[in-house]
Chain A
Amino acid sequence: MQGGRGIHFSQLYIFSYIQSFQDDHSQIGQKGYSRVVYCNDPDNPEALKLKYRGNCISTTKYTVFNFVPKSLFEQFRRVANIYFLVAACVSFSPLAPYRAGSIVLPLVVVIGATMVKEAVEDWRRRKQDIEANNRKVKVYGKDHTFHKTKWKNVRVGDLVRVEKDEFFPADLLLLSSSYDDGICYVETMNLDGETNLKVKRCLEATAALRDEFWKFKAIVRCEDPNEHLYSFIGNLYHENRQYPLSPHQILLRDSKLRNTEYIYGVVIFCDHDTKVMQNTIHPPSKRSKVERKMDKIIYFLFSVLVLISSIGSVLFGVQTKNDISGGRYKRWYLRPDSTTVFFDPRRASLASFCHFLTGLMLYGYLIPISLYVSIEIVKVLQTIFINQDKNMYYAVTEKPALARTSNLNEDLGQVHTILSDKTGTLTCNSMEFVKCSIAGTAYGRGVTEVEKAIKRRKKDGDPESVEASFDMEEHSGNITDSRKSIKGFNFRDERIMEGKWINELHAYVIQNFFRVLAICHTAIPDVNKESGEISYEAESPDEAAFVIAAREFGFEFYERTQTSISLHELDLKTGKKVARAYKLLHVLEFSSSRKRMSVIVRNEENQLLLLCKGADSVMFERLSEDGQIFEIETKDHISRYAAAGLRTLVIAYRELGEQEYAIWKEDLFEAKTSVSADRDTQVDAAADKIERDLILLGATAVEDKLQKGVPECIKNLSQAGVKIWVLTGDKMETAVNIGYACRLLREEMRQIVITLDTPDIIALEKQRDKEAIAKASRESVTMQIREGKSQVISSRQSCVSSALIIDGKSLIFALAENLESLFLELAIDCSSVICCRSSPKQKALVTRLVKKATGKTTLAIGDGANDVGMLQEADIGVGISGVEGMQAVMASDFAIGQFCFLERLLLVHGHWCYRRIAKMICYFFYKDITFGLTLFWFEAYASFSGQPAYNDWCMTFYNVFFTSLPVIALGIFDQDVSASLCLEYPLLYQEGLQNILFSWARILGWMFNGVISSGIIYFFITSSVIHQAFRRDGRVAEYEVLGVTLYTCVVWTVNCQMALTINYFTWIQHFFIWGCIIFWYIFLVIYGLLPPTLSTTAYQVLVEACASSPLYWLSTFFVVISALIPYFSYKAFQIRFCPMYHNKIQIARLKG
């Protein structure tokens, strides 16, 4: 790797050098581009005036001083918390129905717990910050030497030296490196997770800077800090000249210097101005559907609360007013003649209003303060279970499923549409070289998944025999081909393997073909020193597959210097391995618009060669007259390969004359140095000039293998009723074939194809009349959509499902304002949709449309940077932690190792989480209504004066000790059916899709159940224990005893109700449910033993009064059973007469 030989990178790589210079540079100095950096001159008074921040980073949310106010503010952004705060404040006034402590304490606990969580998280971040701030880097000081300085003391404009394998302390402008041409390699794993090395190069003007730094003074004017990792606009002013800067000169903080001894750089952005810090803005937080509905329920309950409080206050007002009638005080024992404002019959309406506030606090139990906390706890624990699932652990990459947010667990159970990327998501994105066509002959005997699917379709017979025949084929293949499998290479053809290609007819062509594969790329070899094996670091998996293929065919690429590429290759004449070096003159890189890549090399025979590979659409038109010998055969092969779902590239080359090359070089130089705005086009044109008159060698076919289990997964998901859309950049044929391979498309389906590849449109395109094209296209798409719609309707009548296939061009029109709704209507009616040739932006657009139009939950799944928009747009983003880096995972809400884990994530975990949360919330409302309404009934018998039925602390602990753990256990552990049954009956997923378990009917049903329970408890208990002696010793049940009896019944009832509700009893459930009931008695005994100043009305109630009364136990038993009977009977009838799907499965399971 060492030793450039004076050849400068800019001459070699012609495109990357210029690509970023766009018109944007004219904006420098204007708004948004106003940053000025005095390089190597941070003490310049001008620089000091700018007051850029130091490099001491702080990623913490809070500081010691603002922690309390800021975190409190965060907490009280929740409406419910504000309600509780107001209630707590009011509780200190005489309005409070109970002691202030009992309402303040739970609030303090809830807020405190969240604050502690925040504090701990922040402390962790702080520790990381301190660690980062104290790392050291060499900074050029005033004494003209480099000093080790802590990162936090680095300033903007400082000149720093970074050594190999060190991290960059800030965003730097690369000045020079240990390489003569000023390149360096960086690893950006921390930024985007990509492990391949990226090349950065400095300006030629500064490349020679190695010493005498004190001489170096320059000014950088550039863009203001922003979050775009891959763009940078700025100018360097040095020695009265202006040099434009591009991202290639910028080294980002948190990336690492690799393969380079050292670099010198100038700090441009510090601290929060760095790109990586600008990027740490948290993605928009997503809330689940269930939670959003919960808010509505809270509002509903709040209205109920206001309603019953008003009823209470009106009745209270009436009764209070009645206390004075005809100048006579009726309830003299209340002394209405000398009373406070709260009970004054002369000002009854004011008293009534005050009582309204009291009522709001008293019935506050209807709005469960602990609900939010419990849900948070439950969701976090649910995510742990998702992360722990060994069936979603991908052993190959050692990656488990990872729930990156706990907000959306239950949304997983309601996914209506899955929008999936193809490459890397449905397929492995590990390209395998499977076939090639050289000199018009097709080589490669492998059978791809797609081909299997096609044959399966054609045979139409029973699929098993087909499967078997393929197995046989593969099996026999394995016997002959039992050598080790090579990643990226799945080629079997004895004709050209093991060096036998020499005997082929067109051996010379084959030789050239493999040479192009071995030379025309940008990969870097990595020789394992011990074994001598070579692996390659390539920019894309396709490229790696080519280099590997070349190696396997005997053209082993083993060394790359700045200016040469060395191969071990098989000599055609001697048949021996020889080392050959090719001098690299130019690299014309690949870009999506060029769709090809070329290199210009000089071989040892001093021949000038242009080696080129590219897409068929651009290559065939560049062939020379006599270079088209195999064109027809090759085209035929390419279309067959495409039909088999393979990615194809055409390989060609040409020899260059010295003179021609010299002229072209000049042209290129001119184009590159031109200052006009259309420099890019000029360079493009220059490249175009030399990439012509090519001689066709052949074509390659690379398979992007389907991931394991994808077809089964898709089949099960679509059986579950989930719609699957595939959004891919592939060609329509490839996409359709992949669709068949993964059973997204099935033979019996009606296909509706919307495309603009029709002859009329193509004809129009040739005329280049943009408006006419647009008009015709729009009309054509509209017509096709209309037709499709009628087809769908007719096929639905005959019970055939439809599939929609649309290409990117049509999509542009279909997504336009006026067609949008029509298109969506059609798409929603189809069970699978494939959008091919779609751009990342279109993917996000489609996602947003589907989400908006259906109003249902959408899930996007993808693995690459191009899917990020889609993932963030969808309700749930699932990232595949695969080969294409980590951007998708970083933007996702859930990360899984393989597409097929999606099945388990949705059908098992999604289903469970959905029903758990739904049930939990319903139950929560049930238990709080049961409790809260007993208070109300009691009020009705206490002339609505606001006296609670229970002891203060008992009330406070209701949601904390006596009912919380079982419901949390329900939220974490409950299962209607086991995981294997969830997968066996995908239809079960419909329960979530149709939102059956969290429908208003069900929620209100549970609330109604709460009303019934509270009624039964209150009225049966008061009827049975009141008036008469309730013990043998003649004592009667007073306020204290009634309160405890009612409370006992409530605790029993809600916990037994829980036992009836859940379907899944492990020791944990038993422990929590029965534990809570037992704990109530224990609590009562302990609390009752406290001195009466503390325990007040609970003093010795259980021990002295209740425990020895048979009536207490008998009535508790009776009331608890009676309160459960309505639900039990309902449930029994419902399971008997209209069982839900999970009930059916349970019954079927039970019958065996």
Chain B
Amino acid sequence: MKDFFLVDSRFSQQELPACKPMLTPGLVIMAFIFIGTIFIPIGLVSLFASESVVEIVDRYDKGCIPEKYGKHMVAFIQSKETNKTCLRTLTVPKLMKNPVYVYYQLDNFYQNHRRYVKSRNDKQLRSKAYASETSTCAPEATTANGSAIVPCGLIAWSLFNDTYGFSVKNKALEVSKKNIAWKSDQDSKFGSDVFPKNFQSGGLIGGAKLNSSKPLSEQEDLIVWMRTAALPTFRKLYGKIEVDLEANEKITVLIQNNYNTYGFEGKKKLVLSTTSWIGGKNDFLGIAYLTVGGLCLFLAINFVLVYVIHPRPLGDPSFLSWNRNPAGHCTYG
């Protein structure tokens, strides 16, 4: 044959040196024990780290509604006349070392809704030159007279506008708003020459207003808000308290309860939390590690028992015979 040549190599003959792992009982037991012994310490460490975090969560959406509005919460929040100031007292359960992070937590708020996520214009946010680029922002693209809104779109328009003022023993606690957004957002996604324009000037006011003399890259609240959350329940960083909070200290929080979560039956929570190396307080991972580790050890023990009680007779010649004889082939020569 003309264009044919046989390559006699281990590759072409499919005889490459190969490792052929086989799930023997020994290997299985070893694997389970190995996973168990790795997982349990990790679980303990994670759980410990999570437990070391001190967290105060205060749900205030209901509590901040005066009793007479109990049944008309939406009316209350939408009204311009009502006094939305609300005073809450939090008790520090344990020493909270600085920095203490202040979050607001919203519930049942679909920041990941497709319409919502898409309703922004990255070009406009990034550069002054594209100020009139509002193509994906409808219905918050332009004002009634047709001039472009900066920043446009539903996300910016619905910016969270509750504010918190903290004080301990009548001494105000300073909340630092610096450095709460991702640096990459500040540097590359929000222009330092882009200033808010026509923002919240239409008939419907969604959320917070912006200081139009500050460039977007410095509006960290906006940047944090515009980085949309993944799930309908989410926390966002509000600021940092850079002093230690002693145990049993009473913190007074003065809340401007402006944001309408009542319309969609969402909750609002204020969260103060320290962090550890693993981040905030969440026992799930530690417990999960422990559970799965324990399960693996359990399986390993089971396998050991099965192997001891009922070893498979590998030397049995019938072992290598097919369990279902093909028809007509009872005996093989």
Contacts and interface: CB of A to CB of B under 8 A. Distances in A.
A1118 B22 contact: no
A1118 B20 contact: no
A390 B15 CA distance: 12
A829 B327 contact: yes
Contacts of A1132: 23, 25, 28, 303
Interface stretch (A170-178, A224-232, A1098-1106): A1098-1106
Contact of A1065 (B20, B110, B234, B319): B20
A978 B7 CA distance: 19
B263 A334 contact: no
A1039 B114 CA distance: 12
A1118 B320 CA distance: 39
A334 B7 contact: no
Contacts of B331: 748, 799, 801
A561 interface: no
Given A332-B260, A721-B326, A993-B326, A1147 B182 contact: no
Contact of B6 (A393, A796, A1099): A393
A1040 interface: yes
B158 A975 contact: no
A1029 B101 contact: yes
B95 interface: no
A973 interface: yes
A390 B126 contact: no
A1031 B279 contact: yes
A411 to B, nearest CB: 18
Interface string B302-320: 0100100000101100011
A942 B112 contact: yes
Chain B interface, DSSP helix/strand/loop, else mixed: loop
B278 interface: yes
B320 to A, nearest CB: 6
Interface stretch (A69-77, A488-496, A504-512, A1017-1025): A1017-1025
Given A334-B154, A947-B117, A1131-B23, A1030 B122 contact: no
Given A1027-B280, A1110-B278, A1118 B292 contact: yes
A1129 interface: yes
Interface stretch (B59-67, B192-200, B224-232): B224-232
A1146 B27 CA distance: 14
Contact of B314 (A331, A334, A1151): A1151
A830 interface: yes
B183 interface: yes
B72 to A, nearest CB: 12
B14 to A, nearest CB: 6
Contacts of A993: 326
B280 A1028 contact: yes
A582 to B, nearest CB: 42
B129 interface: no
B329 A942 contact: no
A400 B234 contact: no
Interface in B35-60: 35, 39, 42, 46, 53, 55
A91 interface: no
Interface stretch (A335-343, A672-680, A765-773): A335-343
B275 A333 contact: no
A718 B280 contact: no
Contacts, number: 294
A886 to B, nearest CB: 12
B250 to A, nearest CB: 23
Contacts of A715: 333
Contacts of B279: 1028-1032, 1109-1111
A1031 B322 contact: no
Interface stretch (A8-16, A471-479, A775-783, A1120-1128): A1120-1128
A812 to B, nearest CB: 26
Contacts of A577: none
Contacts of A387: 4
B276 interface: yes
A1122 B291 CA distance: 10
Interface in B206-230: 206, 227-230
Contacts of A1150: 22, 24
A807 to B, nearest CB: 22
B329 A718 contact: yes
Interface stretch (B82-90, B144-152, B167-175, B235-243): B235-243
Nearest to A1103: B184
Interface in B275-297: 275-282, 284-285, 288-289, 292, 295-296
B276 A1036 contact: no
A462 to B, nearest CB: 13
Given A1092-B122, A1150-B24, A1129 B321 contact: no
A947 B114 contact: yes
A1036 B14 contact: no
A625 interface: no
A353 interface: no
B1 A334 contact: no
A1065 B285 contact: no
A990 interface: yes
A1135 to B, nearest CB: 5
A800 B299 CA distance: 46
A637 B195 CA distance: 113
Given A331-B264, A1100-B188, 11 more contacts: A339-B115, A340-B138, A393-B6, A721-B322, A796-B327, A796-B328, A947-B113, A990-B326, A1063-B22, A1105-B182, A1146-B20
10 contacts: A330-B263, A333-B206, A390-B8, A721-B322, A973-B14, A990-B326, A1032-B277, A1068-B16, A1096-B122, A1114-B42
Question: Closest 10 CB pairs between A and B?
Answer: A1028-B280, A799-B330, A1029-B280, A1034-B101, A1042-B230, A721-B326, A333-B158, A945-B114, A338-B139, A947-B114
